[in-house]
Chains A and B, each alone.
Chain A
């Protein structure tokens, strides 16, 4: 079964610090790796995504690092703020090649708390 393993389960970071969340996958057919941010009472919202042809993607304070050979990718949040406190999910889906199943497989989530 396709799996995406996410760690840590929870993370406490001081304001201004760097938050790092890691994910590992098994299926080499995975081709798209997004990160979602979820606030209490809301649905997950797409934060940033990467494809395996690049090793890093940066959007503002959020960076995805991707290691294809290790089958790992991570989310770095620079200068973490209390407003970043949320649950973060990594996910993966295979490359589209016609009929079949291409839904996102999610990690179990990381609850981030940024303390002032």
Chain B
């Protein structure tokens, strides 16, 4: 068990809808990362927060947003969903802003129908 908790495990929704994915980092970790995993693209970095502030942005669509709360949990909001957004979304955490070592949760599988 990595200590990173993600909810829900599965999410099925329709195109055009909005969903929120939640992540609780390992105890003591200040940095949270979101990754998207699809079959053909591997693990794609979306965004990083460190101690409540946005630290780095990757290939995150404008329809997606995230935040990290004072208790350090993070939420990834996905809106105007498209079929192509169907993927596994992973949250990971690390103690420091440089991301090593990085511990992953078990992901949220999003299916857009």
On A, residues with C-beta under 8 Å from B are 32, 34, 36, 41-46, 49, 89, 93, 96, 100-109
Contact = CB atoms under 8 A, between A and B. Distances in A.
B39 to A, nearest CB: 10
Contacts of A105: 45
Contacts of B56: 100-103
B103 to A, nearest CB: 7
A43 B58 contact: no
6 contacts: A42-B106, A43-B2, A44-B43, A96-B97, A100-B56, A101-B55
Contacts of B105: 43
A93 B41 contact: no
Given A43-B2, A45-B2, A103 B90 contact: no
B55 to A, nearest CB: 7
Interface string B89-102: 01010001111111
B42 interface: yes
B100 A93 contact: yes
